[in-house]
Copies of this chain bind each other. A is one copy, B any other.
């Protein structure tokens, strides 16, 4: 069943050339078929998921995986409903490619258009969560790209079953290119893919810091990912106790292992409710670490580092020094401070007076996300459809030559139209 990995990559590249120009109707039709076939074959999916869960139970008993991983692995009716709803939501979104970004008259008979296009073949390595493969595949399809996917090994049965449903749905869709979504299974294949800069245009690793680091160090292909999520909340001296408490509890406890959960609380030295706040956090079973030795730890658990800061400047400097450029929030009633924080904190998402947990492709309205990027090139923050596109320049002329402009016979207009 498994194809040679080079053949997979070559075929994906060839499919991309067709995919690049596919109309929106066909792409949406493919997404609709996937939604319908997932619904139709849900019992088969649950069966595959059960078999993954059985194996995972043994791993859990041997302590080779933790309870959080085990729980994430489970697919229930609600998750399946969300999966299907996500597909229909994505269908409704505008096609992100073949859009005119701008057009400009270089001269009266020479028109330059900047047009959004898909990127190409994207390698995505993702964690063991049964909803990932649908989310990622659907974003790849809608954005006109092709993908080579490698899922977490604990969800191999679920992934393979869903993958086959996706492949069949694409085959059923009239005019849809072959080999757009591909699944690989071994770590060796991942290593081979990292060397294929001829066929693969982008690698998106989702998962542990160690994985992202390994991939960055072992490929020439651009990598889009986040190494860690060290998120901060700075509480200014004037913020009220109830809202401070509500936001920190949400940011720390609503999903402690999420990358957008808060890891460090920076409290203004004049904040009047420090003791009450620490008590409330303790009551919510959050372990407080005051003045830790290392401020760059992603706890991913109900643990919170706390530091008292002199003023907003110390808070901003702390975040720019120890943060990971993911998501940082200020709680303040002082508009000048809010503006300063939003301007000077060099993170992909900067928030005022709300929880860091909003940093997410679905919540931003991107139709889910392929990941959250802490890169400072290409795409930053939650990456949805827009982040999976690039552009091309189309120049329409009437026998224009550069020599006429170099010799001064003609001159450029450069007028946006």
Contacts and interface: CB of A to CB of B under 8 A. Distances in A.
Interface of A: 16-17, 20-21, 104, 106, 110, 112, 119-120, 201-202, 216-217, 220, 222, 224, 243, 246-247, 249-251, 254-255, 320, 338, 342-344, 346-355, 357-359, 363-365, 375-378, 380-382, 390-403, 405-406, 412, 414
Nearest to A366: B414
B400 A355 contact: yes
12 contacts: A110-B354, A202-B377, A222-B378, A247-B401, A254-B402, A347-B392, A351-B396, A352-B397, A354-B399, A355-B400, A355-B401, A377-B390
A212 to B, nearest CB: 11
B401 A246 contact: yes
Contacts of A364: 104, 106, 112, 393
Contacts of A351: 394-397
Nearest to A119: B376
A273 to B, nearest CB: 15
Contacts of A406: 254
A17 B344 contact: yes
Nearest to A93: B414
Contacts of A355: 397, 400-402
Contacts of A378: 222, 377-378, 390
Max count, chain B CB within 10 A of own CB: residue among A217, A353, A390, A401: A401
Given A346-B20, A378-B377, A381-B392, A254 B401 contact: yes
B216 A358 contact: no
B352 A250 contact: no
A260 B365 CA distance: 40
A166 to B, nearest CB: 24
How many chain copies?
2
Contacts of A21: 343-344
Nearest to A244: B399
Nearest to A120: B376
A149 to B, nearest CB: 19
A104 B364 CA distance: 9
A357 to B, nearest CB: 4
Given A104-B364, A119-B376, A358-B402, 12 more contacts: A119-B377, A120-B376, A201-B376, A202-B376, A202-B377, A222-B222, A250-B401, A351-B397, A352-B394, A353-B399, A355-B402, A376-B390
Given A20-B343, A393-B349, A395-B351, A363 B401 contact: no
Nearest to A350: B394
A3 B247 CA distance: 46
Contact of A247 (B346, B382, B399): B399
A376 B20 CA distance: 13
Contact of A412 (B254, B363, B401): B363
A393 B381 contact: yes
A397 B20 contact: no
Contact of A392 (B224, B249, B353, B380): B380
A246 B21 CA distance: 32
A262 to B, nearest CB: 12
B20 A377 contact: no
Contacts of A401: 246-247, 249-251, 254, 354-355, 357
